[in-house]
């Protein structure tokens, strides 16, 4: 158990819909990262937050947005879903803003039908 | 930004043989290099890491080497076992974020 908690674990939704994925970082970690992993693909960096502020942005679509709340949990919002958005979405957290050791959650499986 | 290249993309070895995975990075300011193991459908788990002030680090059957001048680092697994079969990702900590390699699928044949 890495200490990073993600919900839901599995989600099936229809095209055009909107979903929210939630992440609670390890106790004491200020940085939260979101990654997308499609089938047999690598880890695509989406976005990073540090202590509530956006720190770095990767290949995140405009249909996707995220935020980190004062209690440090984070949410990834995916809207106007397409079949190609089906993937495993990982949240990760670390102590320092520059991503020292990153610990991953178990991931949220999103299936768009 | 940082660019991390990882080779090979797939690797098959006989049980008991050694496996080597290599990564190169572009940002000379990178100073932290973790390696993750990911089993099918599971989260990546940190297996070993190395910082730029160290040239080599070993933990039982796994070791990592770092050549800062050449900007490359490698993962070495000795006496491979079937449970080592997984996807391995290298990563480099550049400015403000960690960049992952594309992964190596390691298959250990019994």
Over residues A89-112, the pLDDT tens digits come to 999 998 875 557 889 999 999 999
Q: How far apart are CA B103 and CA A55, in angstroms?
A: 25
Q: How far apart are CA A71 and CA B13, in angstroms?
A: 46
Q: Report yes or no: A113 at the B interface, CB cutoff 8 Å.
A: no
Helix, strand, coil % over all residues of chain B, rounded to 5:
5, 55, 40
**CB atoms near residue B48 (< 10 Å):** 19
Instruction: Map tokens 């080497």 to a residue.
Output: B65
Q: Is the dihedral of CA B39, A33, A35, B58 positive or negative?
A: negative
Contact flag B43-A33 (C-beta cutoff 8 Å): no
The whole-number pLDDT of residue A75 equals 98
Contacts of A35 in chain B (CB under 8 A): 100
Of A58, A90, A101, the CB nearest to B43: A90
Contact flag A55-B43 (C-beta cutoff 8 Å): no
β-partners of residue B109 are B14
Contacts of A106 in chain B (CB under 8 A): 42-43
Residue B95 confidence (pLDDT) above 80: no
**Low-confidence winner among A13-17, B17-21, B22-26, B54-58 (lowest mean pLDDT):** B54-58
Contacts of A107 in chain B (CB under 8 A): 42-43
Q: For residue A22, which of A40, A42, A4, A2 has the smallest C-alpha distance?
A: A4
SS3 state of residue A48:
strand
Q: How far apart are CA A91 and CA A103, in angstroms?
A: 9
The whole-number pLDDT of residue B96 equals 67
Mean pLDDT in order along chain A per 10 residues (113 residues): 94 98 95 90 90 90 96 97 96 77 94 97
Of A42, A55, A56, the CB nearest to B100: A42
Contact flag B43-A2 (C-beta cutoff 8 Å): yes
With b meaning 16 or more CB within 10 Å and e meaning fewer, what string describes B83-96?
ebbbbbbbbbbbee
Q: Report yes or no: A103 at the B interface, CB cutoff 8 Å.
A: yes
């Amino acid at each position: 158990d890495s200490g990073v908690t993600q919900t839901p674990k599995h989600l099936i939704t229809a095209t055009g819909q909107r979903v929210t994925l939630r992440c609670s970082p390890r106790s004491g970690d200020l940085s939260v990262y979101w990654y997308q992993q499609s089938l047999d693909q690598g880890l695509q960096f989406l976005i990073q937050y540090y202590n509530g502020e956006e720190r770095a942005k990767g290949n995140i679509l405009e249909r996707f947005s995220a935020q980190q709340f004062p209690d440090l949990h984070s949410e990834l919002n995916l809207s106007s879903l397409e079949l190609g958005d089906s993937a495993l979405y990982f949240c990760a957290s670390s102590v320092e803003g520059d991503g020292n050791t990153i610990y991953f959650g178990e991931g949220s499986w999103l299936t768009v039908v | 930004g940082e660019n991390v290249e990882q080779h090979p993309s797939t690797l098959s070895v006989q049980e008991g043989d050694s496996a080597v995975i290599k990564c190169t990075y572009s940002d000379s300011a990178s100073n932290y290099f973790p390696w993750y193991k990911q089993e099918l459908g599971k989260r990546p788990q940190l297996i070993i890491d190395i910082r730029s002030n160290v040239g080599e680090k070993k933990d039982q059957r796994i070791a990592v080497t770092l050549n800062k001048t050449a900007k490359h680092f490698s993962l070495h697994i000795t006496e491979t076992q079937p449970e080592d079969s997984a996807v391995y990702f290298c990563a480099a900590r550049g400015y403000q974020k960690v960049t992952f390699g594309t992964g190596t699928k390691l298959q250990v044949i019994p």
